[in-house]
Amino acid sequence: NAGVTQTPKFRILKIGQSMTLQCAQDMNHNYMYWYRQDPGMGLKLIYYSVGAGITDKGEVPNGYNVSRSTTEDFPLRLELAAPSQTSVYFCASKGEVAQYFGPGTRLLVL
Amino acid sequence: QQPVQSPQAVILREGEDAVINCSSSKALYSVHWYRQKHGEAPIFLMILLKGGEQKGHDKISASFNEKKQQSSLYLTASQLSYSGTYFCGTESPHRDDKIIFGKGTRLHILP
């Protein structure tokens, strides 16, 4: 049981490049979330999903896109990377009570 | 809307007690508490539900005042392992499944 896994662990992007942050969970959870964490700002919700085929915007969705074709996977897409997207990105899934977070992806946009 | 946590930071000696507060300007269905150590992912501690039900950690307690839309996390006889950043997350009564987190409270325990 791996829980929530994220790839890559670290990535450097140039301004304007695109990339997909991968997230997968093996707990059969319907609810999944993407957060970004900037120093001193806590966790900001980007997008979330309540099941396969269903996604919704969080607090800071601009510049990101998501899809949820399976229960296990919830990838986050950055289409045109900007320096403001430099952050640590956490994916999480939620069971009956708790959210379980992945180890995070550190993204640097230069 | 993002809940407000206080204090922003606390420094304690091992064995001392701490209280971390979380307040919201909107009605709440539940309050979640998480702890994050530097460079790691947040870890679930506790959830408090409307109606008073608590689920979670057996060494940390918390309260939830629904009328005041506030929650407090109580860390008694703190241990070195309690160091980290504590986040509260709130869920609205609309049950839209969004959990919005505060900015966090940094707790540092000295030996």
> pLDDT tier at B49 (50, 70, 90 boundaries)?
confident
CA distance linking residue B44 with residue B67, whole number of Å: 25
Classify residue A96 by its DSSP letter: S
pLDDT at B76: 87
In a domain, A108, yes or no: no
Query: In 3D, which of B41, B91, B44 has the Cα closest to residue A37?
Result: B41
Query: Average pLDDT for residues B15-29, to the nearest whole number?
Result: 91
CATH number at residue A32: 2.60.40.10
Q: Tell me the mean pLDDT in the region B9-34.
A: 93
Provide the domain count of chain A.
1
Residue-wise pLDDT tens digits, A82-101: 999 999 999 999 988 889 99
Please indicate, yes or no, if residue A109 is contained in any of the structural domains.
Answer: no
Determine the pLDDT at residue B65. 87
Residue B6 confidence (pLDDT) above 80: yes
- Percent of chain A exceeding pLDDT 90 equals 90
Q: Is residue A88 part of a domain?
A: yes
Using a CB–CB cutoff of 8 Å, tell me whether B47 touches chain A. yes
pLDDT > 70 in chain A, percent: 100
In this complex, is the C-beta atom of B106 within 8 Å of any C-beta atom belonging to chain A? no
The pLDDT score that the predictor gives to residue A39 is 83
Contact indicator for A99, A93 with CB cutoff of 8 Å: yes
pLDDT in tens, B83-104: 999 999 998 877 677 889 999 9
Q: Is residue A4 part of a domain?
A: no
Please answer whether residues B65 and B52 qualify as being in contact, where contact means their C-beta atoms are separated by less than 8 angstroms: no
Q: In A81-94, which positions are buried (b, 16+ CB within 10 angstroms) versus exposed (e)? A: beeebbbbbbbbbb
Paired tokens of B7: 């204090």
Which of A41, A97, A103 is facing B55, going by the closest CB pair? A97
Residue closest to A77 by CA, chosen among A31, A38, A23, A26? A23
For A68, the 3-state DSSP assignment is coil
Q: Domain of A48?
A: 14-97
CB-based contact B42 A90, cutoff 8 Å: yes
- Superfamily, domain B4-110: Immunoglobulins (2.60.40.10)
Which among B40, B99, B102 has CB closest to A99?
Answer: B99
